[in-house]
A and B are shown apart, each in its own frame.
Chain A
Amino acid sequence: MLPRLPHRLVRLELLLFAAGAPLARSAPAPHAAMPERHRAFLEQNCLGCHGPEKQKGKFRVDELPLTISDLPTAERWQKVLNALNAGEMPPEDEAQPAPELKADFLEDLSHVMVAARKHLGDQQGVITLRRLNRREYRNTLRDLLGVDVDVSALPSDTGGPGFDTVGANLFLTGNQFEQYEALAREALEDAFTAGAAAPVAKKFRYEAETIHPTFVKRNRESLDAMDRANRWIKAVDDAAALPENAALVATLREIAATDDALRYHWKKIPGAPSPMTFGFNETAEVNPATVYLFRDRTGFIRYDEYYLRLPRLDQGSYLTVTSGYGGTGFAATQGLSIPRDFPPGDYVVRIRAGTAPGTPADRRFLEFGLKGFAGAGTPALSTHHITGTIESPDVIEIPFTFNRQSAERNHRNLFIRERGLNDGGKVQRRVQEAVERNGSGPEVAIWIDWMEIERIPAPPGTMAPGLRALDIGWDDRATGIPKEKLRIALENFAREAYRGVPAPDGLVDRLVRIYDSHQATGGTHRDALKQALAAVLSSPRFLYRAEPDANTAHRPLDGLELATRLSYFLWGAPPDGTLRDLADSGKLQEPQELAAQTERLLSHPRSAHFVQPFLTQWLALDRLDLFQFSRKLYPRFDDAVKSAARQEVYETFASLLCENGRLGDLLNADYVVINALLADYYGIQGVAGDAYRKVALPAGSPRGGLLGMAAILAMGSNGQRTNPVERGASVLRKLLHDPPPPAPANVPEIERLAGQVVTTRERFHAHQSDPQCASCHRKIDPIGFGLENFDAIGQWRTTDRYEALDESGAPVPHASKTWIIEPSGALHRGPAFRDYFALRELIAGKKEDFARGFTVALIEYALGRPCGFSDEPLIAGIVAEAGEDSFATRAFMHALVRSKEFHSK
């Protein structure tokens, strides 16, 4: 993800170079080179067979230049690296190099190869034409038309070697063109529909006690079904007991060992009645197992009785914890149905709720969502903290967008349920545990007074700019629009869609042709218009952020281009009216104005569209979704916590950006930015509500900074066990800007410990003995071990345990081991650390390395091209500038926005 700058080797050389003369873009780029001292290694170990005397495999090392400046040389060195990594060279029967020497050689060579690849692939500052990536495309349609379309049909544009802003990696195919067309039509339909409904205000409140009669009804129905089941069973048993049926029953017994199995064959037993005569349906007649279900689900009786004794049932209802039958099964997921005449649009949902006395902190949360195809299993949209009590309930406000797709599919049921009710087998365990304890079921925690949904009408005059530009009717009643008016509408819409660039000659003619050809075949005005506008939204001027430069490379950007670059950088969206006006008047290029606009954009809530995608990709946060966290091992790490933990990363950075805090706070801080849910997870008292805010940490807390965040730590696991290698490598990659080279191919894996019961350190110790492994792992592993006090979900621990499992996943008897975690170690060729806290101190001391890594990522993200060696002056400049301001977060942004590179094509 991050461009890999192996600074130890290459930067030194660069600094020497830079000392002589300031680097300019035209200066020759530095070369990736193996240090001279490794010549001896080659001579000693390779020259005998690959030198002047013998040239086995037609390969000579003596003619191999130490400096890699062309592809053939790179390919030859790659061969050397491959052969050493695979353990093929020197051949087994020859003398082997000393492990330490071999590891050193491999470490340097693998870094040099990364540098060489980077050098040879350097784009020399050229920014390739950038297509709007998936999220920019979505944001752009939203800004233009005021609607949010589902873009999941498009390729995500992430997952490549760089950021999703890098033009060279943003491809386009014919299929994609068709998807853009289809999405544009969809968005226009949304916009036309929404435009018509814009002023509609609606409100509906639902009193939670309304469910009470239904609760009672469900309770009676379940009791009745159970009674009917028992009566049918008795009737079948009576028939089976008749003496004249004895012989038959004896034969049936041979295939039906249990009583239920015997009843299954009721049809064969004379006198046995059909389940249908007891009010069951045809399914039950064919398969009496359904009848048994009604008989067996008796758990609800006591839970219903418990519920019916609760206070305030006449003023509200409780969210129960069960997936079972009866009224309590029904009360587990409650909610309201959005009335049929409520159009799509922006809504706010309010819930007045409180918690019952004695409710533990981790049960004071409810989940909110809209039932989709998955029905009751639909994942929640959000989780909310309930701060009130039954005596004095609080109102939770949730913004909610009801889109046209949901309305068309008739997905109108909003739901609330206690947090975690949807989390797999967890509910069963909770019910079981409670029944064993109190005989009825989990105590209720949340009382609901009422729930309300209100449509927020669009304020007058806030029509989306695309629609405003159109200025003609779009519904089919709008007939007889003069051609000239249509032309003006199309021209204005195109200019708006092209982010202020006027429609080129000929475009309007072609759009009118599309409009006409559609109407000629019986298409309505609305459809024909949609077709013509969709053509604008799938044309290259819209899909690409063109910065024309037919003649001059690296020419300065004009005002509009600069505005566009700035707003896509900080908002992931096109420039707004203010930016465009400043661009038109030429003011935007004035340094003070540009700085002021940068401040304005950063302070706007839309900067979340910079924070989230940038951090997600920079820190590779999608890894959090790569594996399932074991619910059995880690019941606390549920969907709500996982999503809050990810949010913590964004919110922490957003808070730094908002307050212009020091970037170094990401390495170590005496505060965290959390909400009530995470406070509960981290065991921090006194935090209420869903909003994230800065909370001071007690001395000695392991939290504070990225290293202490649940999301970051959980990514260093596989959902079951910690992965010290992943953790160590990501610290080197993201915090210390010293990325290990990519995992080499063809290194034989260490198998000798497979299935053995050993500690994690013992398991990874083998990494240190094989030089191929040690070349990287001696640097990676100690950091990972230093973080072992955090378990796979980022909770603090002092011991760890390994339990061997057999093929069915069951523990093997006597094959387990528990040990006390030993976090101490030393950075490779660096200082020693006693524990996690000391390690964190060491890492926090490397603020400048961290700043460099951050800068490289920022450049790549903002400019949409790989950050190459030719960018060294730019990197150094930004780091130096921000350094003067104690690495304040906004200082990086300003320095980059000010740079010549940001202003040039």
Chain B
Amino acid sequence: MNAPLNRRHFLRTSTALIALPMLESFGFRRFASAAPASTLAARPKRMIFLGFGWGVTQQSWYPSMLEKGPDYILPSGLAPLGRHKSDFTIVQGLVNKHVSGGHSGSTFWLTGANEFGEPGQSFHNSISADQVAAGALGKETRFDSFIMDCGAATQPSGHGQGLSLSWDSRGKPMSGPRTPVEAFHRLFSRDTTPLDQQQAMFRQRRSVLDNALESARELQRQLGKTDNAKLDEYFQGIRDLETRLSRDEQWLGVPQPTPDLAEPKSSLAGYEEIELMYDIMIAALRTDSTRVLSYRQPVTTLLASLDVRIDAHTMSHYPGKGPEYLEASEKRDRAQSELLAGLLDKLKATREPDGSTLFDHTTVVYGSNIRTGHNLDNCPTILAGRGAGIRLGHNLVVPKDTPLCNAWLTLLRGSGVPVERHGDSSGVIPQLLA
């Protein structure tokens, strides 16, 4: 555990990195359309990770492996993405080789960890790709990453253990807003209290966090090794809050951006909920509130909103069952593709100050660790956006059993994240490099 002195020192140093010129260029000039494009720095990179639990329909989602390259026929499950066909690449043959649980579509999806990798532990995980990205891309924004989840719908949606798609550097689950209303408020709630009162509240907040840390430290001295490893989560949680507090303090007085999005009124579920979460993502990127987003999408409520009365897990085992199961599975695919197409539309329609679009600087990762049923090979993977400079418009078939983490590594490096390897990666995917 760090001594208090070190911790404070670290916080000071890290907040000092939030340099004001950055605030100027991203916080204000964006709205000043008169600013000449040439004076603007290169636009920042963004990454979006979307995970959808129980895989897809084998026969109508995947293009034929024989039609490699740009001239492939878009299968019916992807048909709603037709207008974006030249702007995304579907990658076939990726796998997380350590994963063996047929009901965990998201637990290891972005981490590639081996659940059984630590002797004496019944569960183990490691950092997820979005958090690696957050470490490098998230330094200048209000939120280093923004994590969204689907709350109570998680379990029947085939995501497996975890609180979101995101896992921190110690392999602990991370959480974030679970409804559009929560997400909106976290991002855009306005604080109208006068500045001096806000500063006083920061001091109050510090005294609360200090007490929490002191209380934990007092307990820590009496605990053994295993218990302290557990208590470390508490320390880390408080430290995360302190970091956030320091960040907030740096942003004190900087006006909260206008999201250009009405405050969500009710708790929508399913299709509309996902659509709204996507809108919130666009608003978060447009206002440069964050540059890294992850979202663990609901499947079970999506089905309900599509008037499908079959439970999500049974649907995922459509082979050998009646046609209504296959129909439900395909309906789900089309709805998810439609939603993704809508997100890509909005990324393309959102202008950056230099005249380019969000789509030019963003990477969208869309997929699941489950192919279909309990199959964990050829994980469904769609990559879109020009943020990582990858080759788009292709049906890319990689050698069988290429690690999913190779894709994450390629995207991270392409987005300027200095990273040697990720999870069980063995290198980048050369075919993805444009």
Contacts and interface: CB of A to CB of B under 8 A. Distances in A.
A510 interface: yes
Contacts of B204: 514, 517-518, 521, 531
A177 B211 CA distance: 13
Contacts of A118: 122
B324 A805 contact: yes
Contacts of A242: none
Contacts of A161: 122-123, 161
A549 B223 CA distance: 5
Given A176-B237, A177-B237, A517-B204, A510 B222 contact: no
Contacts of A752: 320
A462 interface: no
A28 interface: no
Contacts of A167: 230
Contact of A514 (B172, B175, B211, B310): B211
A168 B208 CA distance: 27
B327 interface: yes
Interface in A423-437: none
A624 B317 CA distance: 19
Contact of A123 (B122, B163, B231): B122
Given A171-B233, A743-B102, A535 B123 contact: no
B212 interface: yes
A78 interface: yes
Interface stretch (A467-475, A571-579, A626-634, A641-649): A626-634
Contact of A539 (B102, B212, B319): B212
Contact of B320 (A547, A628, A749): A749
B355 interface: no
A889 B119 CA distance: 36
B192 interface: no
B163 A173 contact: yes
A456 interface: no
A755 interface: yes
A502 interface: no
A171 B232 CA distance: 10
Nearest to A120: B119
B123 A745 contact: no
B173 interface: yes
Interface residues of B, number: 75
Interface in B171-221: 172-176, 197, 200-201, 203-204, 207-208, 210-212, 214-216, 218-219, 221
A159 B155 contact: yes
Interface residues of A, number: 90
Contacts of A806: 323
Chain A contact residues: over half helix, strand or loop, or mixed?
loop
Interface in A159-186: 159-162, 167-169, 171-178, 181
A898 to B, nearest CB: 25
B377 interface: yes
B120 A123 contact: yes
Given A172-B234, A749-B373, A539 B215 contact: yes
Interface string A585-626: 000000000000000000000000000000000000010001
B91 interface: no
Contacts of A375: none
B241 A178 contact: yes
Given A161-B122, A176-B175, A553-B224, A749 B323 contact: no
A627 B120 contact: no
A747 B374 contact: yes
A750 B155 contact: no
Interface in A384-434: none
A504 B161 CA distance: 36
Contact of A521 (B99, B103, B197, B309): B197
A173 B121 CA distance: 20
Contacts of B233: 171-173
Contacts, number: 228
B237 A173 contact: yes
Contacts of A124: 120
A335 interface: no
B346 interface: no
A128 interface: yes
B117 interface: yes
B84 interface: no
Nearest to A516: B207
A252 interface: no
A807 B226 contact: no
Contacts of B231: 129, 540, 544
A197 interface: no
Given A121-B122, A514-B208, A549 B320 contact: no
Given A174-B237, A550-B223, A753-B320, A181 B208 contact: yes
A511 interface: yes
Interface in B232-264: 233-234, 236-241, 244
Nearest to B321: A754
Nearest to B369: A745
A845 interface: no
B211 A742 contact: no
B223 A742 contact: no
B4 interface: no
Nearest to B237: A174
A74 B115 CA distance: 13
B175 A175 contact: yes
A425 to B, nearest CB: 13
A704 to B, nearest CB: 29
Contacts of A826: none
A744 B374 CA distance: 7
A74 B118 CA distance: 12
A6 interface: no
A535 B126 CA distance: 31
A124 B208 CA distance: 37
Given A521-B201, A746-B375, A755 B175 contact: no
A362 B130 CA distance: 55
B69 interface: no
B412 interface: no
A126 interface: yes
Nearest to A535: B211
Contacts of A162: 122
Contacts of B30: none
B254 to A, nearest CB: 22
Contact of B322 (A71, A506, A755): A755
Contacts of B340: none
A156 B155 CA distance: 11
Nearest to B104: A745
B313 A626 contact: yes
B100 interface: yes
B237 A541 contact: no
A174 B163 contact: no
B71 interface: no
A517 B207 contact: yes
A259 interface: no
A750 B319 contact: yes
A122 interface: yes
Top 6 closest pairs, chain A to chain B, by CB:
A627-B311, A548-B222, A749-B319, A174-B240, A129-B227, A174-B237
25 contacts: A71-B116, A71-B119, A82-B100, A118-B122, A155-B175, A156-B152, A171-B233, A174-B240, A175-B237, A517-B207, A520-B200, A521-B201, A531-B208, A539-B216, A550-B223, A626-B156, A628-B311, A720-B309, A743-B102, A745-B99, A749-B317, A750-B319, A754-B321, A754-B323, A805-B324
Interface of A: 71, 74, 78, 82, 86, 117-118, 120-124, 126, 128-129, 131, 155-156, 159-162, 167-169, 171-178, 181, 504-507, 510-511, 513-514, 517-518, 520-521, 531, 535, 538-541, 543-544, 546-551, 553, 622, 626-628, 630, 718-720, 742-747, 749-755, 763, 766, 804-807, 809, 866
Given A513-B207, A540-B215, A628-B309, 13 more contacts: A123-B121, A156-B152, A167-B230, A504-B219, A531-B204, A531-B208, A535-B211, A540-B231, A744-B374, A746-B376, A751-B320, A754-B320, A804-B323
